[in-house]
Amino acid sequence: MDIVLAVAQRGEGILKLTAAPVADDEFGSAWLRGLADAMQATMLARSGVGIAAPQVYVSKRVIIVASRPNLRYPDAPDMEAVVMVNPEILRFSDDCLLGEEGCLSVPDQRGQVARAAQIQLRYFTLDGVQVVTAFSGFPARIVQHEVDHLNGVLFVERLST
């Protein structure tokens, strides 16, 4: 059975912390797999397109990105949910795009945020395999939003006025 977790809300201390990296001996563990499964179930239950572990009260560097077409981004790609452990954005493009964001931790607010249009990202799979890849458009926006969560930053701190 899928475990759906509570989502931390704006103002809670866990969302302001810098999350700790997943340690070498945690890769491949039942604990890490269970965390990823529960994060995915929670994201799906809230109809989200991403989630970060601090949002479910776990201060570890794990995110999930699951782009799909939607009203705001009709041309967004339909991605299988990707679990990313210890993600690091290696390169940000110089060109930025303004786009609407929401947040499962700030359910009553949406707003326009400028993000790099393309990024190069390194992350590890649940089994510790390193992946280096590039994202653009909406998936790149989700990744940047989720990595912000790992660094204690909410999109409301980046709103364009």
Catalytic machinery residues? 146
Residues 52-111 that bind ligand K1U (CB under 6 A): 52, 70, 72, 101-105
Minimal distance in Å, beta carbon 47 to ligand K1U? 5
Residues 82-111 that bind Zn ion (CB under 5 A): 103
141 touches ligand K1U (CB under 6 A)? yes
148 touches ligand K1U (CB under 6 A)? no
- Count residues near ligand K1U (CB under 6 A): 18
- Alpha-carbon separation of residue 18 from 58, 97, 112, 143, 148 (angstroms): 11, 26, 24, 16, 9
- The b/e string for 77-113 (b: 16+ C-beta within 10 A; e otherwise) is eeeebbbbbbbebeeeeeeebebebbbbbbeeeebeb
What are the residues binding ligand K1U (CB under 6 A)? Answer: 47-52, 70, 72, 101-105, 141-142, 145-146, 149
